Amino acid sequence: MVRAEYLIAALPLVNALYIPHAGEELATFDGPQPKELDDAKLPSLGRKPHRTQGHSQRRPVHMGGKQNKVAPVKVPTTKVFPSENGKADVIAPVSHDGEDITIKNKYIIVFDDSVTPADVAQHFGWLNVMHAEHMSMIDAKHPLASEESTGLLKTFDLGDTFRGYSGSFLPETIEAIRESPIVKHIEQDSIVRVSEASVENGAPWGLARVSHRKALSLGTFNKYLYDAEGGEGVTAYVVDTGIYIDHEDFEGRATWGKTIPVGDVDKDAHGHGSHCAGTMVGKKFGVAKKANVVAVKVLGSDGSGTMSDVIGGVEYVVASHKKEQASNSKHKGSTANMSLGGGKSPSLELAVSAAVNQGVHFAVAAGNENQDACNVSPAGASEPVTVGATDLSDDRAYFSNWGKCVDIFAPGVNVLSVGTTDPTSTAIMSGTSMASPHIAGLLSYFLSLQPDSDSEYATSEAITPRQLKQNLISFGTPGVISDLDSDSPNVLAYNGAGKGLSALWSGSNDTTEELDEEDVFTLKHITDLLLEELEAFAGKTGNLFGELRVALDGTHH
């Protein structure tokens, strides 16, 4: 007997592709052995079921000193069943801890880049015939199998670099699809889940950090320096659990775009997406305070979903971006944030990279497993900005993924943003999920402040995602992050502190420090800030706070 995680066996009666679940025992195994996906095996896929990268704190957050990086255990992130006789590869994502996250009989099929609309139409016609034929053949012997195989479910079109579809198919149909000359690869659909996020009380230090070159001090830890017009004319998409669009921090700039999971509600019943949106564009908590934000719900209200739904969300972002680009002359660009991660998914990486190639400025979370970010998706994709997390002391957050697939770091520990219990509620979460929206917010901020036509840095067209990504990294603060491996970029995000952005647009790194006077801090300042935080947290003022203020600084107000 053979116990296998992912196996393909040739069934003698129907010569079908058979993919059993983890732990299933097979009496025979004649198919090809799966092998771990290597980036070099799929050069066209770039780098990099899911979890949002809000991190569950299983131990206290490290706020200072040096951290020792825990050596990660290398586990397969993708199984590939190699092509034989020209057939397409079948790919099965695996979570970072080896969990079986695939969905039985459900697949994502990606077409070759050279496919034409006529090819696609012909393929779908053929597919419907094959599916019906196989269903009729097997229904008598395996009635339950037919209930799980409903055929074509969704089609995807993100431009020339990503076209495909998803559906539930019998093994016989998948084997036939493998033989199609226009199919690049087949990926077994997988589960997407939201991770638990830590929630506690604190201050929005992350905004202050991205607007200062120096490490934060008592004089700067709560000061966000920015251009008040940042975000104007930009639409930011949050591909997540949804957004609490009625929260006061969005000032009416939040709208509901689309709910991808069938049968789910237009509501963020989880809170993760709203928190990310607040960091991107909120009046109080956001980097780009004038941008509009759109909810694209790809994870259900229970915090889980499917890989195919995530790809569907990316497709919606691209379609909406193109529509606004064509109809709104004041539109300055589109950004998107995806704080998701899990097993290696070439299909998702292709979809996100295709969105970037269509003009969407994308930020994605690096992941929270303290491992090489190249092992997870979409963090390993080459085109979006992949973001790792740092803490208040400028150490790499102990949970943050790292390595050559990370492009930049941003604050991701104890980040204060929007809550979902009422229109004034707040929440604090930690994770690369919280770092990524800082970068998505920065992309929105910079897009809105592109040089005027008479500037020496002006271009005939809007800056491309690839160029802005390069400039963002060059403009960041170098050499300030501790606990990094040699492959990780030692670059912390920076917004320019509300000053001129000539260095950003020229692609240079002007690390001129802000004025030292910002570091001047008196006991009275400390008192005022502490009391302000206490009053905000309690939601009221009164004699208690007045008496405390007198006790601390000896003054009456």
Q: Catalytic residue positions?
A: 240, 272, 433
Rounded CA-CA distance 166/181 in Å is: 18
Rounded CA-CA distance 434/438 in Å is: 7
3-state secondary structure of 406: coil
Pairing mode of beta strands 17-18, 304-306: unpaired
Q: 126-133 contacts: CB < 8 A, separation 24 or more?
A: 127/151, 127/152, 127/173, 127/177, 128/152, 130/173, 130/176, 130/177, 131/169, 131/170, 131/173
Rounded CA-CA distance 378/350 in Å is: 9
Q: Enter the tokens of residue 416.
A: 């204060």
Question: What is the separation of C-alpha 236 from the centre of its chain, rounded to a whole number of angstroms?
Answer: 13
Q: Tell me the angle at which helices 543-553 and 523-538 cross, rounded to the nearest 10 degrees.
A: 160
- The type of residue at 230 is G
Return the number of other C-beta atoms located less than 10 Å from residue 155's C-beta: 15
Return the number of other C-beta atoms located less than 10 Å from residue 262's C-beta: 9
Pairing mode of beta strands 304-306, 183-194: antiparallel
Q: Enter the tokens of residue 178.
A: 């493998």
Rounded CA-CA distance 303/382 in Å is: 27
Is residue 325 a contact partner of residue 361, using CB atoms and an 8 Å limit? Answer: no
Q: Enter the tokens of residue 107.
A: 């697949």
**Cα Rg, the chain, nearest whole Å:** 25
Q: Report CA-CA distances (Å) from 71 to 68, 202, 365, 370.
A: 9, 31, 20, 8
Rounded CA-CA distance 445/53 in Å is: 23
Rounded CA-CA distance 190/309 in Å is: 10
Rounded CA-CA distance 529/221 in Å is: 11
Question: What is the separation of C-alpha 358 from the centre of its chain, rounded to a whole number of angstroms?
Answer: 17
